Amino acid sequence: MKTLFYLNLLLLMLSLAVGLNSCQRNFGDLNNPTVEKYLENASQQQLNNLVNGTASGARNSIDLYLDVTGVIGREIYRFADPRYTTELLGADDNELLNSNFYITLNWAARYRVVKNTNVLIAAATRSTLISDAQRKGYLGFAKTFQAHELLLNLNLTYKNGIRADVSDPDKPGPVLDYAKSLAAIAALLDQGKTDLEGAVLAFPLSPGFNGFQDAAGLIQFNRALAARVAVYREDWPSAKAALEASFLDLEGDLYRGISHVYGTGTGDQLNGAFTPPQQNGDVRLAHPSYATGIEAGDDRITKTNIRNIAASLNGLSGNRDVWVYTSGTAPVYLVRNEELILLYAEVNIRTQHFTEAVRALDRIRTAHRLRPYSGLEEEEPLIDELLQQRRYSLFFEGHRWIDVRRYRRLQQLPLDRPADNVWEQLPLPVSETVAL
């Protein structure tokens, strides 16, 4: 772990130099930044550099995260590296390896951002060149982003856990189990919310934060993430309170939310989850069950495109391209209103408020040209309905595998070949097992 973090220190310097919309903003001289320079007595400009580097770096390997969760969760096929169709699908005697890209690159990308946020927290705490209200803004932003990144890694490793405390790269905290990891993430979000209360944001945010570019907006973002974490913990009162403080809007735009943005400018990057339709070789296909399991008339079928010629590889075949990210500059959402409505429905199902749960589910159904729910207003059938709506509303957004796992339904995912397997979790990367 120590070696990984020394690598992250170097990569931090690179991420600072590559910012969102870098061609539109001047963040000063980043040619020779050092961590010590930021920790001495950071100026507002230097702290803004750290904010920008954090938000920009958080986009790295998000396409890989979506691919890994999407393949294991039987949302998509990825025909590229052969390990997508062998190891990640548990083909034959294949096992998941702790040295392979699907865990090592994901893990490093997320902890690189965590390192950025730890530097930002330390620098903002020590700086005498900003007001207390501004300091609270930097701290709240950093802790909220750090919690998000830790949660993504925990979604991959699940019961294998994560290191929640890595503020000292020489003495990182222990690997925590799943419950303790979630508790640590929830506590970090609560700290971030407290910091943001009464804060002033002295830094610009990307267009992905439009509508959330002040302290009040960041609190709503923070609480949206807190609601997701509380639902994972099955802490229904906390989830309800977090949703009430988020940007949940039952009648609002389903795509209102916070997103990663991409661009073609110098120093920017494109959305790697975009794949041009109809191409051969490197393709992303919707799992065949996406089309066979969808209700007639559901407009979410347009998240896939029928191919002129089906693509096949290693005994797998599909005739629909994934069409969630429709260009190289399409956004990737960290959280959006449609997920919050579904979380609201879930909280109400699990607390026996079935009428309110149906109201939320019908908001999703009717938005996608389906008739209102007509099944039994009881917990089990409503959970079935909830998971169906989450499957199609949040397709290829990184949720399906986590959803079926937390409801202990991994065995319900389709096996495409007789010797395939559905994995519960990824192993800790080799860098962690050496350090343990």
Read off the pLDDT of residues 286-314 as tens digits, 9 standing for 90 and up.
Answer: 999 999 999 999 999 999 999 999 999 99
> What does the pLDDT read at residue 1?
43
Please check the confidence at residue 434 and state whether its pLDDT lies above 80: no
pTM: 0.92
Structure tokens at 24: 């539109």
Please check the confidence at residue 21 and state whether its pLDDT lies above 80: no
Please check the confidence at residue 10 and state whether its pLDDT lies above 80: no
Q: What is the mean pLDDT of the chain?
A: 92
Give the whole-number percent of the chain exceeding pLDDT 90. 88
From 31-45, 312-326, 345-359, 375-389, the region with the lowest mean pLDDT:
31-45
Q: How confident is the model at residue 39 (pLDDT cuts 50, 70, 90)?
A: confident
> What does the pLDDT read at residue 28?
36
> What does the pLDDT read at residue 33?
55
Helices (H), 287-436: 288-293, 337-350, 354-367, 379-393, 400-406, 430-435
d(CA 240, CA 84): 38
Give the pLDDT mean for 130-141: 98
Please check the confidence at residue 331 and state whether its pLDDT lies above 90: yes
Summarize pLDDT for 152-172 with one digit per residue, the tens: 999 999 999 999 999 998 899
d(CA 58, CA 144): 12
**Distance from the first to the final alpha carbon of the chain:** 9
Summarize pLDDT for 340-384 with one digit per residue, the tens: 999 999 999 999 999 999 999 999 999 999 999 999 999 999 999
Tell how many helices (H) and how many strands (E) occur in the chain: 15, 8
Q: How confident is the model at residue 436 (pLDDT cuts 50, 70, 90)?
A: low
Domain ranges of the chain: 2-268+330-424
CA-to-CA separations, 100 to 91, 93, 362, 427, in angstroms, rounded: 16, 16, 42, 10
Give the whole-number percent of the chain exceeding pLDDT 70. 92
The order of strands in the sheet holding 283-286 is 76-79, 283-286, 316-322, 304-313
> What does the pLDDT read at residue 180?
98
The single-letter code of the amino acid at 300 is: R
The single-letter code of the amino acid at 243 is: L
Give the strand pairing for 257-260 and 332-336: antiparallel
CATH for the 2-268+330-424 domain, from 1.10.3720.10, 3.40.50.620, 1.25.40.390, 3.90.1150.10: 1.25.40.390
Summarize pLDDT for 406-418 with one digit per residue, the tens: 999 999 999 999 9
Please check the confidence at residue 271 and state whether its pLDDT lies above 50: yes
List Cβ neighbours of 384 (8 Å cut-off, separation of 6 or more).
none
Give the pLDDT mean for 163-182: 95
From 4-8, 63-67, 197-201, 373-377, the region with the lowest mean pLDDT:
4-8
List Cβ neighbours of 158 (8 Å cut-off, separation of 6 or more).
178, 405, 424, 425, 426
Q: How confident is the model at residue 40 (pLDDT cuts 50, 70, 90)?
A: confident
Inter-residue contact 347 to 339 (CB < 8 Å): no
DSSP letter, residue 309: E
Q: How confident is the model at residue 135 (pLDDT cuts 50, 70, 90)?
A: very high
Give the pLDDT mean for 224-241: 98
> What does the pLDDT read at residue 2?
44
CA-to-CA separations, 185 to 41, 55, 79, 367, in angstroms, rounded: 28, 18, 34, 33
Please check the confidence at residue 5 and state whether its pLDDT lies above 50: no
